[in-house]
Amino acid sequence: MELGLSLGDAGTASKPFGFMEKSSKLTSKTNLGFCMGLSIGPNHTPQEDDQDKEKRSNSDHKSDNTNTSAAAAEANKRKSMAEDTTDSPIQLDLLPNTPVPRNQNHSLTYLVSDNGNTSRGFDVNRFPAAVVHEDQGDQDVAALSSSPPNSATSSFQMDFCMYSSKGRSESHNEADQAERASSRASDEDENGSARKKLRLSKEQSAFLEESFKEHNTLTPKQKLALAKELNLRPRQVEVWFQNRRARTKLKQTEVDCEYLKRCCETLTEENRRLHKELQELRALKTSNPFYMQLPATTLTMCPSCERVATTSTSTAAATPTATTTTNNQNNTADPTSKTTGLSLSSTRPRFYPFSHTQTHPHQHTS
């Protein structure tokens, strides 16, 4: 359903690509009345999204008017779904001096997809562009809606659409896909069916991939060029890049997650080993009371450089713990500092079995 707000043209008929002529006709019309078209239908033309979006800055009011007579006829068969509907969308003509002709059937028209099924019911937010007001004369102002709401604020529209799932038995070979993808902008518009998601052809995907490798974001110029090259709508190219970036990020997140998992396993193993070593040392101490008679060695961390200094009352640092600290030299045990850009090293104290007083660059008064 759409509330198409237009200026003038209250008596003009719909045209599949009427928006293309919108600008000039709008300016040429002498009747600058205030007209609202209300309709329900899947007749949005995919190309309109971007073309109109691109024209949005040049035209103030737009409404879609791409309903076809065939679709309208089909809709008539099902208008029982809407009790007080007739053949054409409701038009709220606010023109005080231009009464709506009686022969124009103002109605809420339920339009269904090409197979006529309406199984999916009434969905407010699906296929937003499918709107038309028909029998409005030779042109209308198209309102497009695939763009985000905040970017279509001037169109004053709401879209409701009946849609259904098509049969899936049609062939889906590559040629078909390519043809469908490349022709979607025209075919679907013409038959007025609800827009369906179509896979891009391999060639299109490959081309987009190549382009993505060069730059993962698009300038408007690049977007238009790609769209033209691939016979897609600019919006499709834009969406493809957005989804591609999202996929890349998701994949990277998965890689990072896997890497952190391995890090966790490594650290857990190291922790287990250290605990075991500690137990062995304690056992050794109990069994050999003379073994640990060396002066106690304490580890203190310098708050300024986060280095751990071995301070002892003697130079006898050759305690068994020294073997463990050397294991961490040069951060070799920190597995998080490389490929993924993730690093745990900033949160882990670095163990350097150096003589604090000799090698520390800072002057500590303590």
Partner DNA sequence: TTTATTCGTCATATTACCTCA
Partner DNA sequence: ACTGAGGTAATATGACGAATA
Distance (Å) of CA 70 to CA 13, 129, 185, 196, 296: 15, 18, 19, 19, 94
Interatomic CA distance for residues 176 and 173, integer angstroms = 5
Q: Does 193 bind DNA (CB under 7 A)?
A: no
Q: Does 127 bind DNA (CB under 7 A)?
A: yes
Tell whether the torsion through CA atoms of 193, 198, 201 and 205 is positive or negative. Answer: positive
Q: Does 218 bind DNA (CB under 7 A)?
A: yes
Q: Does 17 bind DNA (CB under 7 A)?
A: no
Interatomic CA distance for residues 250 and 110, integer angstroms = 40
Among 8, 11, 41, 128, binds DNA (CB under 7 A): 128
Q: Which residues from 310-349 bind DNA, rule CB under 7 A?
A: none
Interatomic CA distance for residues 118 and 67, integer angstroms = 18
Interatomic CA distance for residues 61 and 9, integer angstroms = 12
Q: Does 118 bind DNA (CB under 7 A)?
A: no
Interatomic CA distance for residues 62 and 75, integer angstroms = 24
Q: How far is the CB of 202 from DNA (least distance, A)?
A: 10
Among 7, 92, 100, 198, binds DNA (CB under 7 A): 198
Among 19, 110, 241, 351, binds DNA (CB under 7 A): 241
Q: How many CB atoms lie within 10 A of CB 168?
A: 6
Total residues at interface with DNA (CB under 7 A): 53
Among 2, 9, 48, 49, binds DNA (CB under 7 A): 49
Interface map 77-116 toward DNA (x if CB under 7 A): ----------------------------------------
Q: How far is the CB of 22 from DNA (least distance, A)?
A: 15
DSSP characters over 189-213: HHHTPPP---PPPHHHHHHHHHHHH
**Which positions touch DNA (CB under 7 A)?**
46, 49, 53-54, 56-57, 120, 123, 125-129, 145-151, 153-154, 163, 165-166, 168, 172, 177, 184, 195-200, 205, 217-218, 220, 223, 235-236, 238-247, 249
